[in-house]
Structures are given as structure tokens and as C-alpha cells.
Amino acid sequence: MTVHTTDASARTDALADILVKRGHLTSPRIRDALRAAPRHLFAPARGWYATDGPGPRYAIDRDRDPATWWDAVYANGSIVTQVDDGAGDPTLGVAEATSSLSSPGIVVAFLELLDVQPGDRILEVGTGTGWTAALLTALGADVTTVEVDAGLADTACQTLTMAGFTPLIVTGDGALGVPDRAPFDGVHVTCGVDRVPYAWVEQTRPGGRIVVPWMPEYGDGHQALLTVTGDGHAVGRLVDSANYMVLRAQRSTLYVPEHTAAAVETTTRLDPREVTASPGADVAITAALPDVMGAPRDRDGVVEVELADTAGTSWARVRQGEGEHRVWQAGPRRLWDEVASAYARWTEWGRPGREEFGLTVGPDRQVVWRDDPSNIISP
């Protein structure tokens, strides 16, 4: 139910009730933090609202249409505040989103995983609007937050000060952490990474937690909860889905040509929707093929899965048919065949779900495991 009032505390309570119902929010302390850091203080006057999951997406403007703006700010969706690193207009909803006020459901889910205690020293990576930093501060943490974009960091600093929060805001590359402020009790990452920077592990005390949107090249993104061990590793499981904008230095673009002239055409009985829409299959595939990018595309109701390797040598496209599906593969690698065999291995394992997989991050490499950290399934 939409609360038709500009009373922020009533709206916060209504939003919190939705988050409780959806299973994102259980902690009364986080509920109090939502009240202490009202979301509208951190929302841009103009932006692009996107419901969490499938649902409406539209421009919002506080001055032109305040009712829609208030409803969007207290709904479970993200609000894009910047596109193309500041070069475009977010209200057009077309360009690459590069900063946002994250969706309350995912912010709260990560806060629950981090389990912040009063006095904890927390590093946040990706300040954005400053809302997450405010929530962490409201939970009693001593917060250091890093933002790569100087303009966004300045705006967040002003917003946080006006809202009465004083975390330390650092402008720079969050992948390096903030060594001067280490050790941290926890790291809260609000941009996606394929490779977890080791600096975050090094700068967290043993037993401390790192919560991070793990966004490998292939398929969906995942909430990962890692715990730092005494021997300098971070180990933990995948929990649920998470889709964030990617850490600047780790951005990649999946490009598959429209023309199929250079490709070898075959057919497959493996439905392309299976290899991207089965939770857990995507983890098994990306674990086996960490350098393969892959995503489904909806083309007028027909699903196509596009694949390309990060080195740019090979690509594949698989178009959903009826029983038989058309496959085009080009370059020295047969990427669809590789994906299909990783998928077959996943089915032999009994189709394990996302939460049966985990990551270990060490000084030299990051690996994916199944069931137990000793059962490494990545190369």
C-alpha cells in the first residue's frame, strides 16, 4: 500500500514493513537506523527510479511531481543519480548507470549480513549518495567511506553533514581500501566486483566480515558474506542475488556482433534459458569459465544468450527455439560448447543452488568452491 503523505517517518515504517514481509529486514536496530537516516534526505531531486526486480522504471522530479518523487523514494527500488560517469542525464533512463541510491531491500540485506555492532570500525566502498554510510553511522559504527568520483563525494559530504552524520569520506579508489584507517571490523562494499581486492582482506581484522556484491563476468550477481581468517584469507558463501554497478576498474562490456557470417552454425537441445535462469548453474559456469561473459537478451519475447571471452577472441549466440535451439559460434573457442559442458557438470552434481557455493580470497588468487572450502571447482 502506498502511504499518501509526506510524513517521512510514516513512510519509513511502511517501507520497513515491506522489507520485513520480503524477508530482507529482521533486525530492530536496522529498523531504527532506517528511521534515524530518512531516505529522502539522500535522494536526488531528479533521477531515474527502477523497481527492485521486474517492475516499473521512470524519471522522478521532486519539483515537478513531488507525489511521484515521494512514492519512489520510499519504495523498494533504486534511484539512478549518475550515468556515464556524469556525462549524461539520468532522467532519460538510457545511458550506463554509474551511481545510485541503492534499493532499500538490498542495502538492508547487506547490513544484516554485516551485523554491525556499536563501535565497529567499518569501511564502506562506494559512498554514492551517502545513505548507506548514514545507516552504518546510525548503527553506531565508526565509518570510513570511499568514493572514486570527486563530485559525488563532495555532494555526499554536504548531504551527510546536513543530515547530522559525520563519517570520514575519502575520495579515491576503494579497491585500495584505506590503509591509514585499518584495521577494520568489517567492509561493506556497495559496488560490484568480479575479483575481490586483496586490500580489503588485508585491512580487516581476523574474524571481521566483508559483505560484497560478487558480480562475475557470467550471469547474475550474488551477495557474498566473507569472514577473514587468521591466515590472511577471506572465506564465505553466496547468500542471495545482488546486482550493483561495477567497481570502475573492473567494468567490462559484453559485445557480440549482430551478423553471424563468420560463425559456425549448429543446433542444441539445451534451452539457452536454462544456463542463465537456473540459480546455481550460473555459479558453476562462471567458476569453470571465469573469463567468459554471458547474459540473456530478450528479443521480442525470444531469449538469446550471448557469450564472449574477455580476451575478445571468441563469441557465441544461442537463440531459443522449440525443442531445437540455434547456435552460432565464432573464434578459436567454442564458448557455447564450453558453457554447455560446465552446465552438464552442474546437473551431475544434483543442480546445487547458489548458497551451496562460496569464495575464498587469498593474496595470490580467488577461488570458487562447492559445499566446502576444500572442494575448489575453479581453475
Ligand X SMILES: C[S@@+](CC[C@H](N)C(=O)[O-])C[C@H]1O[C@@H](n2cnc3c(N)ncnc32)[C@H](O)[C@@H]1O
User: What is the contact surface with ligand X in residues (CB under 6 A)?
Assistant: 98-102, 125-126, 128-129, 131-132, 146-149, 152, 173-175, 190-191, 244-245, 247-249
CA 209-189-222 angle, 5° bins: 85
Please name the residues in contact with 198: beta carbons below 8 A apart, sequence gap of 6 or more.
Answer: 361, 362, 363
Closest contact distance (angstroms) between CB of 246 and ligand X is 7
Whole-angstrom Cα distance, residue 260 to residue 247? 32
Q: Which lies closer to ligand X via its Cβ, residue 123 or residue 327?
A: 123
Q: Which of 249, 241, 223, 217 is nearest to 378 (CA)?
A: 217
Q: Which lies closer to ligand X via its Cβ, residue 125 or residue 284?
A: 125
Q: Which of 288, 375, 378 is nearest to 338 (CA)?
A: 288
Closest contact distance (angstroms) between CB of 117 and ligand X is 20
Closest contact distance (angstroms) between CB of 43 and ligand X is 9
Q: Which of 261, 256, 259 is nearest to 272 (CA)?
A: 256
Helix (H) or strand (E) holding 50: strand 46-51
Sign of CA dihedral 57, 282, 22, 194: negative
Q: Which lies closer to ligand X via its Cβ, residue 100 or residue 286?
A: 100
Whole-angstrom Cα distance, residue 161 to residue 325? 56
Query: Residue 305 is which amino acid?
Result: V
Closest contact distance (angstroms) between CB of 300 and ligand X is 31
Closest contact distance (angstroms) between CB of 181 and ligand X is 14
Q: Which lies closer to ligand X via its Cβ, residue 123 or residue 281?
A: 123
Q: Which lies closer to ligand X via its Cβ, residue 81 or residue 278?
A: 81
Whole-angstrom Cα distance, residue 331 to residue 341? 18
The owner of cell 552442474 is 346
Closest contact distance (angstroms) between CB of 245 and ligand X is 5
Chain Cα centroid distance, residue 330: 30
Q: Are 235 and 255 in contact (CB under 8 A)?
A: no
Q: Which lies closer to ligand X via its Cβ, residue 123 or residue 285?
A: 123
Q: What is the 3-state secondary structure (H, E, C) of 267-336?
A: EECCCHHHHHHCCCHHHHHHHHCCCEEEEEEEECCEEEEEEEECCCCCEEEEECCCCCEEEEEECCCCHH
Whole-angstrom Cα distance, residue 159 to residue 275? 43
Q: Which lies closer to ligand X via its Cβ, residue 90 or residue 272?
A: 90
Whole-angstrom Cα distance, residue 297 to residue 282? 15
List the grid coordinates of 331: 573464434
Closest contact distance (angstroms) between CB of 311 and ligand X is 23
Active site residues: 102
